[in-house]
Amino acid sequence: MGGSAEHHDILVIGAGLSGINTAHVLNQRLPHRSYTILEAQSAIGGTWRFFRYPGFRSDSFMTAFGLPWYPWKHKHKMAQAGEIVEYLEEAVDAAGLRDKIRFRHKMLACEWRTDEQNWKIEVDVDGQRKIFIANFVISCVGYYAYDKAFPTTIPGLKGFGGQVVHPQWWPENLDYSGKRVIVIGSGATAITVVPSLAEKAGMVTMLQRSPSFVISRPTTSSLDSCLKSLLPFSLAYWLIYWKDVFLEVFSTQFLLNFPALGRKVLMGEMQKALPKDIDVNVHFNPRYNPFQQRLCMCPDEDFFKALHQDNCEIVTDTIETVTKDGILLKSGRKLEADIIVTATGLYFQLFGGIAPLVDGQPIEVGSHYAWRGCMVDSVPNMGFVMGYVTTSWTPGADIMAKTLISVITEMEKTGSTSVMPVLDEKDRSKPQKLPVSATSSYFVKAADRMPKVTDDGRSRLVTIVLLVAQLFRLVRRWSRLRHIPGPASAGWASWWQCRGALSGRYHEHLKNAADQFGPLVRIGPNEVLSTDPVVLRSMSAVRSTYTRGDFYSSGRIVPGVDNVVSERDEAKHKFMRAKMAPGYSYKENEGFGFEAGIDRQLLNFISLIDRKYLSTTSESRPLDLAEKTQFFALDVIGDVSFGEPFGYLTKDEDLFQYNEINASSLPVMNMVSVYPWLGRVVHRWPLSLLLPREEDQVGFGRLMGFERHFVRKRLAEGITTRKDMMQMHISNGMNEEELIQQAFISTVAGSNTTAHALRMIILSLIANPNAYRSLIAEIRKVTSSVSSPISWAQTQTLPYLQAVIREGLRMWPPVAGLGFKQVPPEGDTINGFFVPGGTQVGQGFYAVGRSRLVWGDDADVFRPERWLLADEDRLRDMIAAFDTHFGHGKYSCLGKPIALMEIHKAVFELFKRYDFAVLNAERPIKTQTSVFLFASDFWVTITQRNDEEN
């Protein structure tokens, strides 16, 4: 090689994912060294720009497949090629790498000269020959050839009268609309291209000689969305990145080390996704074990969904010959075709297919050994980076790049100009294996072109021991509650709960389980769900030996400090309640009167409606009753607890974005309720720095700041004659921190529960004209004889009003959190099943309220009359079941009297004055579950009832 030369310390060959990442690592760790990137194509992207066949996409999560230092921000985790190229373009510009890349520079030859201690690289640049000289070369050109495919012989293919297409060279304007297409192959390319072809082709047949494993992965993740809503993006992405990498590595190692069990799991998943007329044992039961060849991934079951279509099929057979108009199979079947797609594999090669020369001698890579997967023995100062040989893809390639950079760094420290792996003679006698444990045809036939590695079995043994230990732990945990019915997956992990919690329909998820499995359901490795009101009351009885479960730990507000919600020690919890109880007692606060505070805010609520939201025959003024009921409940809490409202009703706005942040925190509350340890992690440094702070101007932090200011003001007043809730708490010895935490709990819990109860009772009445009319009739009878607003005592004389409120609360209990109780050490028998000590028993309030065993066959029907027609014994049982919604015994809700007073008075006064109509009859309200049931978009119109009726 000769000619003018360009000198660099380091050359990176290839500007795909691996090349771009390697350049970034060089910038970070060796900023003083000169380097450039040689790219054969005319633009960034490598594989992702080269391939053009329909549907070409990643079949790994981009959080792990993408660059470790540049977050993947697209919604879908399995991305189309165009999205990946766009992502790489952005990453290159963000890292300032574009000027380092030489496009249309194709390496033709490379030679190491020991006497000069450098590599000479011959490059083709638009037909012109150019020489680059570098001390170190890092090849990032991938593992296959762009200019040739895996050679395969298909008899008769040359005689086919239609069009033959290989995915590697897909014609840009190929029109396959309405045509018969046969895709030969069973690998990742075939699995990818078939669903896309089926969108327009007349018939798509996937013809495979032997089956492959195909698994589906969701392109979006509720858990990822939850983390992003809870944490700063950079931290959330870091957690998601390592979560996905770990799952990738663990699942791969599990399948490799337990192939029989892995096959059973994979076959079961495929069977569920396939049409019933496709035999999984014929078409998806490979001869090889999982990961002896790569598993084929499809996003959101797109491949399986295609097979559900009439124009898509899979055939497992051997080709006899290709005819002029199709393919004749060994079985005698004839497949007609207009287009044949030969998705039969890639041609494997290293170093871009160039055999490196060392002092004029060619190095046949296949006869040498790989060092740490990134260098070859006897080849100085040259490494390769390739994600395919690592389980975790780009993170694995990142480790390779950093390993090579550390080699260069060590050379600098020691003053060395060259480095070369040398295999000890004793290691040459060890068994050889390929660096990739795969049996794909194109890998097996490329064995002579791949470096080998030694295998003494030790790493495999360690992996097996660790996996066996983990499996033993899982089996032992599963076996504790195996006799209790429940979803099959619930015994192994908490994912069944997590999936329901993240869906936003957790209450329905749990009810469906209770309907299917009965009043006691296993819902987790150590969790069961009870929907028997007798059991719930027994667990919470004053003398019960049940204690609070780990669930309550998630109620901690201040790191390291428990409150009445989070405290699990029974004696401490009892002491806290004793100090608080007088503040919630209607009798002890008679001088102040909770009722007066409720009345003031009820009149403010009515005034707001009259001023801004009354509709007439000539003007419609819709309002979101979900929001306004929350405003009302918040201002009642402020008035009753602190002696002054927050001001939501008078300002008619979401002060300091409380409601917005309250709603956005729902996924977080759900996750922490399923995994209480998450709450403890977040409360530790450094994540504790991300928690709401009193200095915040919005959300929970702003609320806590307001409450601290108010508490300090009240404490500074000393003993006063005021008899409100705050003063009662002060008089009973609560200190500043206790007062602030209790105020926060009252505000969040009290407003969410009461507001939801009120809005769902109103909706139930709107949706049930008979109940609506019956309530109005009762109200009209007493309007002239009761006070305005109606008193609490007067509401207790109105049987239909009480029935309406009980029925609404029965069907829509505001608390959806399971409030797990812990079984005492000796265990207990529940509904005929022995439950071991330490088991967490969840309370399914929503399922209790809808249980046919408790309420009859019409449990899902809003029928207030059931409370009026029941005999004395039946009514007593109904009230006992209903009361579980507010807790019982030593765990009963202290705020229950205030909430019921507020709801009774509001329902009476609102329906005395107004008529309500929903705007969207098909979806009048949006509800979702957290620890509380939450609603939004309850859009209604309100009209004034005429004076004669009012």
Residue 554, pLDDT above cutoff 70: yes
C-alpha 775/C-alpha 912 separation (Å) is: 9
CA distances to 110, 347, 352 from 145, rounded to whole Å, are 17, 6, 7
pLDDT tens figures, 630-661: 999 999 998 888 778 889 999 999 887 777 77
- Residue whose entry in the numeric block shows the structure tokens 């072809």: 197
pLDDT tens figures, 493-537: 888 888 887 777 888 999 999 999 999 999 999 999 999 999 999
Give the pLDDT confidence score for residue 445 in this predicted structure.
Answer: 62
Strand order in the sheet with 334-336: 319-323, 326-329, 334-336
Helix axes 222-230 and 666-674, enclosed angle (nearest 10): 110
Residue 868, pLDDT above cutoff 90: yes
Average pLDDT over residues 125-151: 87
* Three-class SS state of 207: strand
| Lowest-confidence pick of 347-361, 363-377, 583-597 | 583-597
Architecture of domain 501-944: Orthogonal Bundle (1.10)
Give the pLDDT confidence score for residue 750 in this predicted structure.
Answer: 83
Dihedral sign computed on CA atoms, order 174, 177, 183, 188: positive
C-alpha 496/C-alpha 488 separation (Å) is: 9
Residue 390, pLDDT above cutoff 50: no
Give the pLDDT confidence score for residue 106 in this predicted structure.
Answer: 94
> Is 899:907 a contact under the CB 8 Å cutoff?
no
Task: Please give, one letter per residue, the 3-state secondary structure of 532-579.
Answer: CHHHHHHHHCCCCCCEECHHHHHHCCECCECCCCCCCCHHHHHHHHHH
Residue 226 CB partners (closer than 8 Å, separation 6+): 502, 667, 668, 670, 671
Highest mean pLDDT: which range of 84-93, 226-235, 390-399: 84-93
For the chain, the domains span 5-145+349-449, 153-344, 501-944
Report which of 329, 335, 293 is spatially closest to residue 313, judged by C-alpha positions.
Answer: 335
C-alpha 26/C-alpha 255 separation (Å) is: 35
What is the DSSP secondary structure assignment for residue 801, as one 8-state letter? H
Per the model's pLDDT, the better-predicted residue between 743 and 299 turns out to be: 299
C-alpha 431/C-alpha 457 separation (Å) is: 9
- DSSP element (H, E) containing 145: strand 144-149
Residue 709, pLDDT above cutoff 90: no
Report which of 77, 78, 73, 69 is spatially closest to residue 17, judged by C-alpha positions.
Answer: 69
Residue 397, pLDDT above cutoff 90: no
Residue 624, pLDDT above cutoff 90: yes
Give the pLDDT confidence score for residue 459 in this predicted structure.
Answer: 46
Average pLDDT over residues 357-382: 87
CA distances to 228, 231, 234, 559, 691 from 686, rounded to whole Å, are 17, 12, 14, 12, 10
C-alpha 463/C-alpha 721 separation (Å) is: 71
- Strands (DSSP E) found in 588-688: 614-615, 623-624
The tokens for 649 are 């009703």
Task: Please give, one letter per residue, the 3-state secondary structure of 870-906.
Answer: CCHHHHHHHHHHHHHHHCCHHHCCCCHHHHHHHHHHH
Instruction: Give the chain's length.
Output: 950
- Strands (DSSP E) found in 44-127: 101-102, 105-113, 118-125
Give the pLDDT confidence score for residue 685 in this predicted structure.
Answer: 61
C-alpha 205/C-alpha 310 separation (Å) is: 11
The tokens for 93 are 């510009």
Give the pLDDT confidence score for residue 467 in this predicted structure.
Answer: 57
The verdict on domain 5-145+349-449 having CATH code 3.50.50.60 is yes
Give the pLDDT confidence score for residue 434 in this predicted structure.
Answer: 63
C-alpha 676/C-alpha 841 separation (Å) is: 15
End-to-end C-alpha distance for the chain, whole angstroms: 102
C-alpha 120/C-alpha 679 separation (Å) is: 58
C-alpha 688/C-alpha 690 separation (Å) is: 5
Residue 684, pLDDT above cutoff 80: no
Residue 391, pLDDT above cutoff 50: no
Of the pLDDT bands very low, low, confident and very high (cuts 50, 70, 90), residue 749 is confident
Residue 825: burial class (beta carbons within 10 Å; 0-12, 13-18, 19+): exposed
> Is 760:639 a contact under the CB 8 Å cutoff?
no
Per the model's pLDDT, the better-predicted residue between 443 and 787 turns out to be: 787
Give the pLDDT confidence score for residue 949 in this predicted structure.
Answer: 45
Residue 363, pLDDT above cutoff 90: no
Of the pLDDT bands very low, low, confident and very high (cuts 50, 70, 90), residue 110 is very high
Per the prediction, the chain carries an average pLDDT of: 86
| Lowest-confidence pick of 34-38, 326-330, 600-604, 921-925 | 921-925
Domains 153-344 and 501-944 fall in the same CATH topology = no
pLDDT tens figures, 442-491: 555 666 667 776 665 544 544 455 556 667 777 888 899 999 999 988 88
Give the pLDDT confidence score for residue 930 in this predicted structure.
Answer: 72
Average pLDDT over residues 152-179: 92
The tokens for 131 are 């020489």
CA distances to 598, 604, 630 from 697, rounded to whole Å, are 28, 26, 20
- Which CATH homologous superfamily contains domain 153-344? FAD/NAD(P)-binding domain (3.50.50.60)
Report which of 157, 56, 816, 163 is spatially closest to residue 506, judged by C-alpha positions.
Answer: 816
- Residue whose entry in the numeric block shows the structure tokens 């109103």: 762
pTM: 0.60
Question: How many H helices and E strands in the chain?
Answer: 35, 38
If one counts every other C-beta atom within 10 angstroms of the C-beta of residue 93, the result is 11
pLDDT tens figures, 4-39: 799 999 999 999 889 999 999 999 899 999 999 999
* Three-class SS state of 922: coil
> Is 303:214 a contact under the CB 8 Å cutoff?
yes
Give the pLDDT confidence score for residue 221 in this predicted structure.
Answer: 80
The tokens for 774 are 């019956």
